[in-house]
Structure 1
Amino acid sequence: MAIAHADEYFWIVPRGHRAPGRARALLRERLRVWRVDPDTADAAELVVSELVTNALRHSGAPQGRGIGVRLARRKGGVRVEVSDAGAVVDLAPQVTTECDERGRGLAIVAALAERWGCLPRPHGIGKAVWAEVGPSSQEGSASW
């Protein structure tokens, strides 16, 4: 399911091992249509992949629940939001060692995004984790 507006796009990806790849493909197509510059598109693609993977691993949502992905654009920048039915948590990147195979997702998001965070979903159970990447992310959140 997808809902599109001129500067906003929303879809739900089914929970499962294919969800991150599906989210990346949908995001890449939308950013191509919007003609977002390649560096911003690459960063947004990695951010959506990490956030969808975290939603799969940590949300505690039942298998039948989908994962919501919302994109918004402004002046070349992109805001990526990934929502799930999990509880709102205080997010912080984990400290990892070079031997750790997991735990770097939020550190990657923090490195790529100008701003990022977590907020409760406005009309239901769960949370949305968001990140702003690209030129417009430096202009502040009022425009998003």
Structure 2
Amino acid sequence: MTTHHHPTDASVAPFVPATYPHEVTWSLPHHPRSAGNARAQLREHTHIWHVGDEVTTTAQLLLSELVTNACRHARPLPHGRVTVRCALSPTGTLRVEVTDGYPVELARPRHPSPTDISGRGLALVASLANAWGSQLLPDTTGKIVWFELAAPPGPPPARQDARKP
């Protein structure tokens, strides 16, 4: 398993699957428009989990990059989709993973020229995430690209008063 980490946080260990109290997985069509659906679902769950708005906004941006990359540059999983997994650890780390069906090459930032119109997504992920990486699935059906953000709890969501007219 090869893992890439943010250069300032090389001590972060690769993810070991665990069940957290706040964990959700969903699949999306292998289509560029899926990034918008992924952002909306992530916002819904981070709101429920009391993750602050700033962390949520950053997570949405990075998730959008990973889903777009999976849909543009990778094959879908055998069921024709990509999978997103989000987990909030008890220690306040938000981990987001995108799994695609391209087991040939791990995700690596490109070095685009100033005139290139694309190729900056993983550099953005590396810059904003506390840690990030990619690893091949053990069954060789694809790869996971992930990032982690520190997610101190935000204020609880406002309660809706059911008695309002």
> Under TM normalisation by the shorter chain, which class is it?
0.7 to 0.9
By how many angstroms is 1:59 displaced? 0.8
| Whole-angstrom distance in 1 between the partners of 2:129 and 2:66 | 12
Number of aligned pairs? 133
From 49, 53, 68, the counterpart of 1:53: 68
CA RMSD of aligned residues (A): 2.2
Question: What residue number does 2:83 align with?
Answer: 68
- 5 Å matches for 1:1-144? 6-61=21-76, 65-74=80-89, 75-123=91-139, 125-135=141-151
Q: Is the 8 A contact 1:84 1:126 kept in 2?
A: yes
By how many angstroms is 1:84 displaced? 0.7
Query: Match of 1:97, SS?
Result: coil
Question: What residue number does 1:141 align with?
Answer: none
Query: What amino acid does structure 1 have at the position aligned with 2:144?
Result: A
| Whole-angstrom distance in 2 between the partners of 1:27 and 1:113 | 16
| Whole-angstrom distance in 2 between the partners of 1:93 and 1:36 | 28
Unaligned stretches of 5+ in structure 2?
1-18, 153-165
Higher helix share: 1
- Cα shift readout 1:78-115 (whole Å, capped 9, x = no counterpart): 10000011115243211123322110110011011111
Query: What amino acid does structure 1 have at the position aligned with 2:136?
Result: P
| Whole-angstrom distance in 1 between the partners of 2:101 and 2:61 | 22
TM-score (norm 2): 0.72
| Whole-angstrom distance in 2 between the partners of 1:34 and 1:55 | 26
Query: What amino acid does structure 1 have at the position aligned with 2:72?
Result: R
Higher strand share: 1
Bigger-Rg structure (1/2):
2
Unaligned stretches of 5+ in structure 1?
137-144
| Whole-angstrom distance in 1 between the partners of 2:83 and 2:32 | 15
| Whole-angstrom distance in 2 between the partners of 1:90 and 1:15 | 18
| Whole-angstrom distance in 2 between the partners of 1:33 and 1:72 | 12
TM-score (norm 1): 0.82
